[in-house]
Structure 1
Amino acid sequence: MKHHLVTLGLAPFLLAQGLYVRRKTPRLPEPAGPRQGIQGQGPTLKLLILGDSSAAGVGASSQQQALSGQLVEILSASYTVAWTLTAKTGYTIKDLINILLTMPQMPLDIAIVVVGVNDVIKGTHQKQWEQQLDLLIQLLTEKLASPTLFFSGLPPMHLFSALPFPLKWYLGKRARYLDGTLSTHLSKYKHCQYLPMNLPFEPSYLALDGFHPSPDTYKCWAEALATEIVKKVHDV
């Protein structure tokens, strides 16, 4: 109750800070480069990366330096990776659902979902978040023929240098809340795995906008994902 009262009292200030940050923060583009392809040698691994601006690689200068490029590079040492990236700046979980509703059937082995930051910013409530998670998982399972689903946890938004206090406190608290809900909710599904965002968020690990990952962060993230994917493939 105390937290909600404090937040209510700060609402006008938080809104003003949000508008200021939006005007002040440089808008980095999504990097150029392929968003699908086949690479590597060995058993075929069909992979989809679905999500928001971080999935799209904002903060990197090319897709090779972004999450998709670095992940495919690692996996292609052991697998023939047939991969697709479907991601866009600003996407919320509702946007991903809308994409999947129109997506044709495409059997895959692995799908990686990166979503939540824009839901924090836009104020998605817990109940709505849980309902949309269920629908997203249902659509991914049906459209992609029951792949293993990896959900990346939300980043520590309270460490984003682009955000001033108390906005970073508020968004950080909401991010931790939705992240905890994500982790708990996914435990109901045997084919879903939660991967916490245990990455360093020192200045060098943030892009120039102080908001998105840098190539170094994408590398750490890709390595963590690749480790879990290989484990899961070997267990099947």
Structure 2
Amino acid sequence: MKRPFAVARVPRSMMLIPLAPVLVAQAWRTVRRTPRLDPATGAEHGFVSGVDPRRGPAYRVVVIGESTAVGVGASRHAEALPGFLAEALRERLRRSVAWSVTGENGATARKITTAIVPLLNGGPAGSPANGTPNGGSDGSAPDLVVLTVGINDLIRRRPLRRWTADMSELIAVVRDRYADATVLVAGMPPVHRFPALPQPLRSVLGARARTMDRIMREAAAAGGAMHAPMDEAMARDRRLFASDGFHPSPAGYRAWAQDLAHAAVPAPGPAAAPGASPAGAAPPRAAD
């Protein structure tokens, strides 16, 4: 028996045409009503002392990306993704962790590839004798590079074909610059649950974000990086969002950092000899 109307055969772009005026109006109102939060302040590098000095030199982490990399929604970087990620890795590795962050609020994947990564100096420093980081001046290479990217490409409706090329190029550039590091690509957030977005705009952007996340995962696998999907359950807790209903709060950054640390270091390893490579520092493999 023939179906009277096969919705599955109608291109999604065609189905959205009747909604276009509503989506445009909702997007305009959302931009006007959403509070503009500043990036986090404070030092852009830090050091978390390990619980076991026999574990070897500090594990080095670089966070690169857009607004979530630079801590929009938190007051200080130490209370945003880089600081909480360092603490989570310290607990899993039981060794010191040095971290640094480089990014720009509003940056797209293309912007990160062409204007942010080329300016990096090689990552965060290790721990000198007095226990304070020196900001990468010793040229120490990172063990882990975390990329947060995608939300600005979503908002600007970057064509999916270009998004695919942008992600592939970004991963290739980072892998080339940090050949010995694990590259971890943070997955797209569950936009379909963002409190700041009204329906149907929330569902439309959420569906596109899921498609972008799939492309991101495939690009990571092809480029020798890892992909860490964001836990959708996080978005059900309003306390994990900042006041704008769009970015993570400090509690949200902490929860997200725990997931990223688990992806980078799946399980705490047995006691290692000084100088041994930690779990998660091996050549990267595609996750998910």
Do the two structures share a fold, i.e. TM-score over 0.5? yes
Distance 1:200 1:102, change over 3 A: closer
Contact 2:147 2:184 in 1 (8 A): yes
Secondary structure, aligned partner of 1:30: coil
TM-score, normalised by the number of residues in structure 2: 0.76
Of 56, 65, 68, 2:79 maps to 65
Which residue number in structure 2 is paired with residue 92 of structure 1?
Answer: 108
Of 22, 27, 46, 2:36 maps to 27
Aligned residue type for 2:253: Y
Q: What is the deviation of 1:39?
A: 3.0
Distance 1:168 1:63, change over 3 A: same
Q: What is the deviation of 1:126?
A: 1.6
Contact 2:46 2:78 in 1 (8 A): no
- Compare 169-178 and 194-203 and name the one that shifted more: 194-203
Which residue number in structure 2 is paired with residue 194 of structure 1?
Answer: 227
Q: Residue by residue, what CA displacement relative to the aligned partner does 1:170-229 show, whole Å, maximum 9, x if unpaired? A: 111110110111112222233x11101014112222111111112222111111122232
Which residue number in structure 2 is paired with residue 140 of structure 1?
Answer: 174
Distance 1:231 1:2, change over 3 A: closer
Secondary structure, aligned partner of 2:218: helix
Q: What is the deviation of 1:148?
A: 0.8
Distance 1:108 1:64, change over 3 A: closer
Of 17, 37, 46, 1:37 maps to 46
Aligned residue type for 1:234: A
Q: What is the deviation of 1:145?
A: 2.8
Please give the alpha-carbon distance, in whole angstroms, between the structure 2 residues aligned to 1:67 and 1:105.
Answer: 20
Of 160, 163, 173, 2:197 maps to 163
TM-score, normalised by the number of residues in structure 1: 0.91
Structure showing greater Rg: 2
- Compare 85-94 and 105-114 and name the one that shifted more: 105-114
Contact 1:27 1:209 in 2 (8 A): yes
Please give the alpha-carbon distance, in whole angstroms, between the structure 2 residues aligned to 1:101 and 1:216.
Answer: 32
Secondary structure, aligned partner of 1:149: strand
Do residues 204 (structure 1) and 239 (structure 2) align?
A: yes
Do residues 121 (structure 1) and 155 (structure 2) align?
A: yes
Structure 1 segments, 4+ long, off by >6 Å, are none
Contact 2:187 2:229 in 1 (8 A): yes
Q: What is the deviation of 1:60?
A: 1.8
Which residue number in structure 2 is paired with residue 51 of structure 1?
Answer: 65
Gap regions ≥5 residues in structure 2: 1-9, 124-140, 268-277, 283-288
Which residue number in structure 2 is paired with residue 216 of structure 1?
Answer: 251
Distance 1:102 1:54, change over 3 A: closer
Larger strand share, 1 or 2: 1
Q: Residue by residue, what CA displacement relative to the aligned partner does 1:68-104 show, whole Å, maximum 9, x if unpaired? A: 1111123335223222101221111011102123434
Please give the alpha-carbon distance, in whole angstroms, between the structure 2 residues aligned to 1:148 and 1:60.
Answer: 26
Contact 1:108 1:144 in 2 (8 A): yes
Please give the alpha-carbon distance, in whole angstroms, between the structure 1 residues aligned to 2:78 and 2:98.
Answer: 15
Q: Residue by residue, what CA displacement relative to the aligned partner does 1:42-71 show, whole Å, maximum 9, x if unpaired? A: 432121101111121112232222111111
Of 93, 98, 122, 1:82 maps to 98
- Aligned sequence identity (%): 33
Which residue number in structure 1 is paired with residue 274 of structure 2?
Answer: none
Kindly report the root-mean-square deviation, in angstroms, between the aligned alpha carbons of the 2 structures: 1.9
Q: Residue by residue, what CA displacement relative to the aligned partner does 1:129-175 show, whole Å, maximum 9, x if unpaired? A: 11111211111112223411101110111111111111111111110
Please give the alpha-carbon distance, in whole angstroms, between the structure 2 residues aligned to 1:213 and 1:158.
Answer: 15
Gap regions ≥5 residues in structure 1: none
